[in-house]
Amino acid sequence: MRTDDLPVNRPRGRGAAANTAQRFSALQMTYDPGEEPEKVVTKFFQDHSSGIISRHNSPDLPFEASLNPYRGCEHGCAYCYARPTHEWLGFSAGLDFESRIMVKTEAPALLRAELAREKYVPERLSLSGVTDCYQPVEKRLEITRGCLAVLAECRHPVVMITKNYLITRDMDHLEELARHEATAVYISITTLDADLARKLEPRASSPQMRLEAIRNLAGQGIPVGVSVAPMIPGLNDSEIPAILEAAREAGAQFAGYTVVRLPFSVKEVFSSWLEEHFPGMKDKVLGRIEETQGRTLSHPEFGKRLKGVGVWSEQIAQIFKISLKRAGMLHRRPEVNAAAFRRPREVGGQMELW
C-alpha cells in the first residue's frame, strides 16, 4: 500500500489513519473512500508467551534485556518505531498496533519463576524495551505493577521509561528499589505543546502531567530524568531547551535524546499523519528525517540510527549539549546495580539469602 492510499481522516483518538499493508500476509483489507470507521474500539488478547525476559545484542542500547508486559500500544504515537513488531503477530503496524493489544497477564509469575532459577544472574532490565508499560489498560490490569512488586522484592536492577503519569501509582515499589540503587526512571517528553502532544501521542499523558510525574518521583527520592525523544527535525527539535529547563525545574537529574526513525510501514503512518496535521511542512520534515537517517528514513547501521547523521543531527546534538549544560543536568543516568539482589520468596515464605 502506498502512502497516498491511506485515508487522511483518521479515527478519533488514534495516531494511525488506517491499517498499513502487512508484510507477512497475502490477505489485506482496505476501505473505499468515505467508508473508513470513525471509531475503532480497542480489543485485548491474551498473550501466552512462556518467557518474559527478552535479551538482545544491540550495541545501541544501554541495557542487556527488557521486560514487556504488552505487545502493541494504545498510546498511538504516530512515529513509534515499534509498530512493525505487530506484523510478526499477524496484525498491521497501523491501527492494529494501537487497537489490538496483546497482554501478558502471567508476566509477574513468569518473572518470579525466572528470577528464582538457580542459574539466573541478575542483569539490567528495561521496563519496557518496546511498548509503554504504562499504557491506559495498565490502570485496570496492573501487570506492570505486579512485575515491579517482584523486582522490588528481589531488589533487581531495572530502568523504567514511560510517557504516562500512571507510573506515580507505583512509587512504593520504586522507592524500595531506589533504596538499593536498583532503579532509575525516564519520563519521555516530546513536546511541551499540549495540542501537538494530543495529535502526536493521542492517548498518552499530557506534557504537564509528565512534568508532574517527574516532580512526584523526585520528591520521593527516586532517580528520575527526561527522555527528549524522539526529536523530529523541523517539527519539535526547537523545543529541546524549553523541555530540558522545564524538566529540571520539576526535579529531573539527567536527560537523554534520540532522533526519529521511520522503519518499514512507520513511514506510511507518519507521512499520513503529517499530511493531515501539517501538510505544508510534510516535505520539509520528511526531507530532514531522510538526511538524519543517511538518505533513508531509518538508518540500517548501529550507532547511527538513534542519533542520526548529517547536519540536522549535528545541530540537534549541539542544541541538546548546550541546553543540558545550562540546565545543570547530567547526560548519563545513575548506574543501577544488583549488589542487593536476592532470589524471590519460596512458597513457604522463606527468602533465600544471597
- The rounded distance, in Å, linking the Cα atoms of 177 and 273 is 39
CATH fold of 43-327, please? pyruvate-formate lyase- activating enzyme (3.80.30)
Domain segments of the chain as ranges: 43-327
User: What is the pTM for the complete model shown?
Assistant: 0.90
Q: How much is the average pLDDT of 141-165?
A: 98
Q: Mean of the pLDDT values across residues 4-31?
A: 68
pLDDT tens profile 285-324: 999 999 999 888 998 888 888 899 999 999 999 999 999 9
Give one DSSP letter per residue of 85-140, joined into a string.
Answer: GGGGGT--TTHHHHHEEEE-TTHHHHHHHHHHSTT-----EEE-SSS-TTSTTHHH
Distances (CA, A) of 110 to 51, 106, 146, 170, 344: 6, 6, 11, 20, 12
Q: Quick one: pLDDT at residue 275?
A: 96
Place of cell 509469575: 109
User: Residue 21 in contact with residue 93, Cβ under 8 Å?
Assistant: no
Residue 225 near residue 256 (C-beta atoms within 8 A): yes
In contact, 127 and 67? CB cutoff 8 Å: yes
Lookup result for grid cell 534485556: 65
CB-based contacts of 344, cutoff 8 Å, min separation 6: 112, 115, 116, 150, 153, 154, 351
